[in-house]
Structure 1
């Protein structure tokens, strides 16, 4: 069990290190195998080719140095000139002899820490000389100075670095780095184009879901992405056609229902009046009015305000207008809001949503408080990954009896009415409108003691 828990923790850590976006993950999928392959190739090069070549080159220089040391030791000082001359001409090794000097060992940092050249040269010199020596890689950028302690002095040997170094190393490193950069650039550009097409498709789907008329999108990217774009365009067209047909049908139903209701109202108005029938006529008139009101509410709910297009509107202005209308009917409505909050909205639909919420509160309470503010969306950021996205939050509080917590979700069901003079569609229409904007609405306990309706809309 402990191993399973450690494995889950490790999995969470690895998931946290992975890029969250499709572009980052796609590029990672391409680059990781390439980097692993190049790392294996580099290891084989270092462990095989470079190591063998380095040892052979170091052995050749060390052998020449050992032979020169032996010749210098055997010849008298006055006869050593030919050794210095022939060494420079035939071995490309410059010699200098310092009579009576003693070798001073100085600790020097490695000049080529990533290459085995220095270690291989020191090993080869020790195997062939068996004398105290020192190598200096820092004094001359083009040569290596080897100092060997002899009984009468110190022999200086200046060896060109090209005798110890293979140019194929540069070519190999350039090939590794160049190919990695080239493939990375190609992968990033290619995947960025694919991700751009997916992002545009996602933005179009989000905008269409919020009721904005964006028109057909241009299919682009890979064939699968193009196919998804064309399918999205066909889906938009089918939904628009369905909404248009439903709106036309509902308009016809509205006309067909209101015409007999109008005739009934006229017939009631033309009936003879009298004390004995006045009460019945008033009841019939009230029933007809109730039927007209219910018909209008049902049609509004079924239509869902779907024909209105989204446009920039001031949410605070809408709230103040709805509150002012409610005050004219006798409701005590207080509004706490900023100066303005402009955002994409369907103004008539939002006005109807707010009106339903305030009307519901006014039927059960004496005091209503409406607040408007912006709050950040938890865990969501803008396209650049820096700017936080915001909710526009509107709260409608009242001091009425409220709704028990267990019954609040059921209050949003159509035709679920908590009062005898309601149709049970006010909250259902309000939620339908808010969700069509990409937000949501919930019922909570109010600080005023009654019910709070909290709705959030994406800014």
Structure 2
């Protein structure tokens, strides 16, 4: 009978929930689980076959000796005969015999290994017709066995524990446990060393993605890990060479474009004032702003070093610039909060967001809060028309302006949000949009701790 399709999928998912997610944990599970299963199987076979067989034979032999002692006592229960029987049993069988005038105990203290009691009980039941009682826990090294005789006497036999069952089984289990522990320790050391190489590679790749450099990173570990690390270094070198070439090209383009723009601005400044001249100045100013945004988007801020800065002070500079431009902006931030960022890059991203909010809304609120994970969130809220939730991701596309949801920004070219998100992700964080409590748009910059 085959399982339903839904059940076939459900069972592996339930199992996966309990499996480790890290490479170290999974590698350890691959090694430890088979070893543990093998050890359990060996232990089970040992106890179920060898140990049980030996214990059964020992218990059967001891029960036979006790039956012989009981028969000899019944044949002649006189004191001289009992004394001779006790001496023969001690010399030949290693049994200590005593005769009491008591009844059998009512209770028995079971052993931790119930199989020991069951085996001995079965053997005594097969060899004795008289009522009996025994205890494997009363004395550490001995077994106490008592047989009720027909004349009312209680025959007490003390036998060495080794005569009842194999006492060396725990030593086997102990050595098995020690071997398992040593194998596990060796596996942990070797796996940890291999995983550490992968972790260092991942850390170097993550740092390079954020614009940081780790010059001390060197490939090590297993051959496959070293190959991956060498491929990463080669890729890093190619990307860095491309960035350097692009930076040099952009510097040249910036110089070549700004030179004629400067000449045009100078000629317009010297020209006779007129309405046409003012229109040309506005077009020239818009062209200069567009070139600045194009170059900023293409250049990025990857070459800037990371610094520990006071976040409130950095945001205050951005807010002051927006206020000077005519915006109504308020700031709420902890003055003592410091973060490791690229200051100019973050300042440019915040300026884009704050100025965008100031253009589309009358009031702008900037606030800072910490996250439970130790990171920081910068919130920019405005009371403008906002953006429909289904267009949030479209707003981050380069050269995209959502004029239907927001008023037309004549100077904008649709790169402000794209640049801001690029900066946030370059710091290992992100930029998202949401509905603002003021009724407009909320921009959230998340930075890691």
Contact conserved, 1:357 with 1:426, CA < 8 A, in 2? yes
Residue 58 of structure 1 deviates from its aligned partner by 0.8
Give, in whole Å, the separation in 1 of the partners of 2:170 and 2:432: 67
1:258-277, aligned counterparts within 5 Å?
258-269=258-269, 273=272
Which of 350, 359, 369 is the matching residue for 2:365?
369
Give a deviation string over 1:195-219, Cα, whole Å, max 9, x none: 2222222222222222222225132
Partners of 2:218 and 2:31 lie apart in 1 by 28
Which residue in 1 is equivalent to 2:65? 64
Aligned to 2:405: none
**1:293-372 paired onto structure 2 within 5 Å:** 293-372=289-368
1:323 CA drift (Å): 0.6
Shift of 1:69: 1.7
Distance 1:55 1:414 in 2: 84
Structure 1 CA distance for aligned equivalents of residues 432 and 102 of structure 2: 92
1:416 to 397, 400, 422: 400
Shift of the 190–62 alpha-carbon distance from structure 1 to 2, 3 Å rule, reads same
TM-score (norm 2): 0.91
Local SS of the residue matching 2:226? helix
Contact 1:84–1:94 at 8 Å: present in 2 too?
yes
Which stretch of the first structure deviates more once superposed, 334-343 or 44-53? 334-343
Q: Does structure 2 conserve the Cα–Cα contact (< 8 Å) formed by 1:217 and 1:233?
A: no
CA contact (8 A) 1:434 1:455 kept: yes
> Are residue 248 (structure 1) and residue 248 (structure 2) matched?
yes
Structure 2 stretches of 5 or more lacking a match?
402-407
Q: Is the 8 A contact 1:317 1:340 kept in 2?
A: no
Matched, 1:36 2:32: no
Shift of 1:303: 0.2
Aligned to 1:443: 433
Secondary structure of the equivalent of 1:11? helix
Which range moves more in the overlay, 6-15 or 121-130? 6-15
In structure 2, the CA distance between the partners of 1:405 and 1:60, relative to structure 1 (3 Å rule), is closer
CA spacing shift, 1:64–1:291, aligned 2, 3 Å: same
**1:343 shift after superposition:** 1.9
Aligned length: 440
TM-score by length of 1: 0.89
Classify the secondary structure of the residue corresponding to 1:335: strand
Q: Distance in 2 between matches of 1:33 and 1:396?
A: 55
SS at structure 2 position matched to 1:442: strand
Question: Once the two structures are superposed, what CA deviation does each residue of 1:97-149 show, in whole Å capped at 9, x if it has no partner?
Answer: 23xx24323222312425x3222222212211211111122332111121111
Q: 1:286 to 1:396 in 2, by over 3 A?
A: same
Shift of residue 231 of structure 1?
A: 2.1
1:348, 1:111 → 2: CA distance? 76
Paired position in structure 2 for 1:119: 118
Are the counterparts in 2 of residues 217 and 229 from structure 1 also a CA contact under 8 Å?
A: no
SS in 1 for 2:138: coil
Output the aligned Cα RMSD: 2.2
| Matched residue, 1:110 | 110
TM-fit CA distance, 1:38: 1.7
Provide the residue aligned with 2:235 in structure 1: 235
The structure 1 segments of at least 4 consecutive aligned residues displaced by more than 6 Å after TM superposition are none
Contact 2:346 2:423 in 1 (8 A): yes
CA distance in 1 between partners of 2:104 and 2:355 (Å): 99
Equivalent residue, structure 2, for 1:13: 14
Seen in structure 2, the aligned counterparts of structure 1 residues 80 and 423 have a Cα distance that, compared at 3 Å, is: closer
Partner of 2:136: 137
Structure 1 counterpart of 2:80: 78
User: CA separation of 1:54/1:323 partners in 2, compared to 1, >3 Å: closer, same or farther?
Assistant: same
Task: Report the Cα offset of residue 9 of structure 1.
Answer: 4.0
Q: CA deviation at 1:167?
A: 4.5
Q: CA separation of 1:236/1:216 partners in 2, compared to 1, >3 Å: closer, same or farther?
A: farther
With over 3 angstroms needed to count, the CA separation of the structure-2 counterparts of 1:2 and 1:120, relative to structure 1, is closer
Listed one character per residue, the Cα deviations across residues 323-373 of structure 1 (whole Å, up to 9, x for unaligned) are 122212221111122233222211101101111111112222221111111
Structure 1 residue 445, shift from structure 2 partner:
2.5
User: How far apart are the structure 2 equivalents of 1:95 and 1:212?
Assistant: 86
Maintained 8 Å contact 2:24/2:191? yes
State the secondary structure of the residue aligned to 1:294.
helix
Cα 1:257/1:82, change in 2 over 3 Å: same
1:405 to 1:124, Cα distance in 2 relative to 1, 3 A: closer
Which sits farther off after the overlay, 279-288 or 148-157? Answer: 279-288
Matched-pair contact (CA < 8 Å) for 1:399–1:451: yes
Given the superposition, is the C-alpha separation of residues 139 and 411 from structure 1 closer, same or farther in structure 2, using an over 3 Å criterion? closer
